[in-house]
Amino acid sequence: MPSLRDSFGFVFLEAMSQGVPCIGTTINAMPEIIGDSGFVVAPDDADALAACIFEFYANPENRRVLGSRALARVRERFTWSGVIARMVQMMNQPSERTKHVGAASADGRTYG
C-alpha cells in the first residue's frame, strides 16, 4: 500500500498480523513498521514498486518467508506484551546517564 501521506500505517500492522508481507514507501513510519518483512520504495518510483509487486508474485517462497517475518515483527514490536518486554529490557540496561549515579566527583560530592 504505497502512500504519500499515511503518517503511521495501521493498515500495514493489520496485514502483517495476518502474515502478509507489505510494500510501502519511505514516507514517515512505514520503513520502521515494515523493516525486513517486506519492501519500501521511494513514493515516486513506480518502477521499483512494480519490481516489488512482481517479486511477490514470482517468488512465493520469499513471500512466505517475508510473511513469517511480518507476523513475528508485529508480535515483537507492536503488541502490548512486545512493547512492555522491550521497555523492561531497556530499563534494565544502564545508560550513560545512570552509570554515574552514586559516584563521587573529584571534589567528593556524590550524585544520585
* pLDDT single digits (tens) 54-101: 999 999 999 999 999 999 999 989 999 888 888 899 888 877 666 655
Asked if residue 61 is part of any domain, the answer here is yes
CATH number at residue 37: 3.40.50.2000
**Between helices 60-77 and 46-58, what is the axis angle to 10°?**
110
Q: For residue 84, tell me if it sits in a domain.
A: yes
The answer to whether residue 50 is domain-embedded is yes
What pLDDT shows up at residue 102? Answer: 56
The answer as to whether 108 is a domain residue is no
Residue 4 is placed in which grid cell?
A: 504519500
Please, which pLDDT band fits residue 42 given cuts at 50, 70 and 90? very high
Q: For residue 64, what are the domain limits?
A: 10-91
- Per-residue DSSP letter, 111: -
- Is 79 within 8 Å of 34 (Cβ atoms)? no
Residue 86 pLDDT: 85
Q: How far apart are CA 76 and CA 73, in angstroms?
A: 5
| C-alpha–C-alpha distance, residues 51 and 54, integer Å | 5
- Please indicate, yes or no, if residue 4 is contained in any of the structural domains: no
The answer to whether 43 touches 25, Cβ cutoff 8 Å, is: yes
Number of domains in the chain: 1
The predicted pLDDT at position 74 comes to 95
Looking at residue 97, its pLDDT comes to 63
Establish if 25 belongs to a structural domain: yes
